[in-house]
Every structure is written in structure tokens, then in C-alpha cells.
Amino acid sequence: MSAVPDRPSYERDDALSARELYRFYRAGEEETLALRGVSLRVRRGETVAVVGPSGAGKSTLLACLAGLDEPSGGEVKVSGVRISHRSGPERDRLRARHIGVLLQSRNLLPHLTVRDNIRLAQRAVRGRPAARAQALLDQVGLADRIRALPRQLSGGELARAGLAVALANSPTVLLADEPTGELDGAAEQVVLRMIRERATGGCAVLIVTHSPAVVRGADRVIALADGRVGEASARSGPREADDVRP
Ligand SMILES: Nc1ncnc2c1ncn2[C@@H]1O[C@H](COP(=O)(O)OP(=O)(O)OP(=O)(O)O)[C@@H](O)[C@H]1O
């Protein structure tokens, strides 16, 4: 008989799970409850879009899921390993190994070239096969910008370089905050295609977005309002933008 407890299959398939997340902010007298008991799961190969009005708690949620911030209550797990309620360095290590993060503020170090930013992201996963920097940049259409510094890139190029860096560690979970915010239609399609390919390869993807194109391409939409998960819709069959609109 196996010593391994027989867990329900939905747990085995979850690459990312959050249970009852709360996040309080206190600034002087003022208290904000940015997350009020958010629970969610993202399975391997699934793409989930998170939508909601400004101030709904989307960026706070993403930061807690990525281990960049600590929830005040609740728990986050990546591939069954708890990432919340650990020291900063422990969270950094888990994130570097398992999670790709693409933030609005960008994830490139300003003094390193695009290639060196990618190599830095790959240091945490030495020993695991990793795509070459050139191959990653080819995929996002930045093959000729490998030696550029971030300040030499346009907004759209920065977004695509940021995606290459977020994918450099071959993450189990990709978390992105408005990854297509500054992109025109063609560049948005490049980024979405690359994200979809990762999901097809088994990555769990969660994207905070206002883009109808991103919502259309998602398997599921989670609507956040006032720190809570509101109306959510599972998709099945053809992907139609007929339920939750950003
Ligand atoms: N560091 C902070 N200190 C105090 N309050 C904060 C802090 N960060 C966020 N908040 C508050 O928490 C709430 C949720 O903010 P958050 O940035 O997560 O929302 P959002 O849905 O991402 O908004 P947007 O779409 O405008 O980026 C807001 O009321 C915001 O003012």
C-alpha cells in the first residue's frame, strides 16, 4: 500500500492555489482591506484572467500569489508548496525556481542588457534545461535587441523583453499584470501567442488585465470587486467574450 495520502485529483493538478487570502494595509489612521477572503485555483495548462475595477485588489492579489507580498491571512501554494508565511529570502528562492512574474513596473534590472537579465533569471534553475536567451528573444520578436539596455527599448519592446525574462526560468506558474497594456494589436498578439504556448506546455497562467483580447483567450475569468471574488465564469467550447468583460 502506498504511504502517499490519496489526495483529490484537483489538488494534484493545481499549480497555484490560494485559500482565504486577506490583506490589510495600514497608513496612519487609515486602514484598507484590499483582499477579503480570496480563494482560487489555477491548474496546469489553464489560463485565468483576473478582471475588476481600479482599486479592486488585483495587483495586491498578484503580489501575494507571487510571494512578493505577504497576505495578512490565508495561504498561497505553488505546486503544492506553501510560499506564503515564509521569510523574504525563502519566498524569493521559491519564486525564482517556480514562478515567472511580469509586472507593470517591469521586471528588468536597468543596468543589465536584455541578455544578462535573462541569464540572471536562469541562475536559480541551473541544472534544469533552459531556453537560450537568443531563442527567447526570437520568440518575442526582439532578436536584434539582445545587447540593448532597458532604457534603449520602447514601451512595447520593454513589455516583450519583460515577458522573455519572466519565461526564462521555465516557470510552473506565470503571473502577469497587464502584460499587453502598452502594446499595439500586432505586438499584443505576439505576447498572447507566447503565453498560450506556455499554457499548452503545462504552465498555469494568471493574468490581471483590462484587455478584451486577453479575456477572450482565457479559459476562465475571475472578477474581483472590493477585494472579493465576484461573478466568475468557466469557459467551455469556443472561447467567446460573452461573459465577464473588463
Ligand atoms: N501600499 C499600500 N498602502 C495602502 N493601501 C494600499 C497599498 N497598495 C494598495 N492599497 C490599496 O488597496 C486597494 C487595492 O489596491 P490594488 O492596487 O491592489 O488595486 P487594483 O485592482 O490593482 O487597482 P488598479 O487597477 O488601479 O491597478 C486600493 O484601495 C489601494 O488604495
DSSP 244: -
Ligand 1 centre distance from Cα of residue 161 (Å): 26
- Please tell me the residue having the least CA distance from ligand 1 atom 30: 55
- Pocket around ligand 1 at a 6 A CB cut-off: 25, 27, 32, 34, 52, 54-60
Report long-range pairs for 195-201 (Cβ below 8 Å, ≥24 apart): 195/47, 195/163, 196/47, 198/167, 198/174, 199/45, 199/46, 199/47, 200/45, 201/45
| Interval 188-241: pLDDT, tens | 888 888 888 889 989 999 999 998 989 998 999 999 999 999 855 444 333 333
Q: How many CA atoms lie within 13 A of 1 on its CB side?
A: 3
CB 52 within 8 A of CB 207: no
Residue 7's pLDDT band, with cuts at 50, 70 and 90, is very low
- Please tell me the residue having the least CA distance from ligand 1 atom 28: 55
Q: What pLDDT sits at residue 106?
A: 72
Q: Cα separation of 159 and 218, whole Å?
A: 20
DSSP 193: H
The residue written with cell numbers 485559500 in the block is 19
- Please tell me the residue having the least CA distance from ligand 1 atom 6: 25
Q: Cα separation of 218 and 95, whole Å?
A: 23
Q: What pLDDT sits at residue 70?
A: 96
State how far the alpha carbon of 163 is from the alpha carbons of 11, 131, 150, in Å: 28, 13, 13
Q: Could you give phi then psi for residue 20, rounded to 5 degrees?
A: 50, 55
- Please tell me the residue having the least CA distance from ligand 1 atom 5: 25
Q: What pLDDT sits at residue 140?
A: 85
Average pLDDT, the chain: 85
Q: Cα separation of 180 and 188, whole Å?
A: 5
SS3 assignment, position 204: strand
CB 91 within 8 A of CB 27: no
Residue 182's pLDDT band, with cuts at 50, 70 and 90, is confident
> CATH assignment of 9-108+172-230?
3.40.50.300
* Amino acid letter for position 146: I
Question: Quick one: which atom of ligand 1 is closest to the CA of 27?
Answer: 4
**pTM for the full model?**
0.86
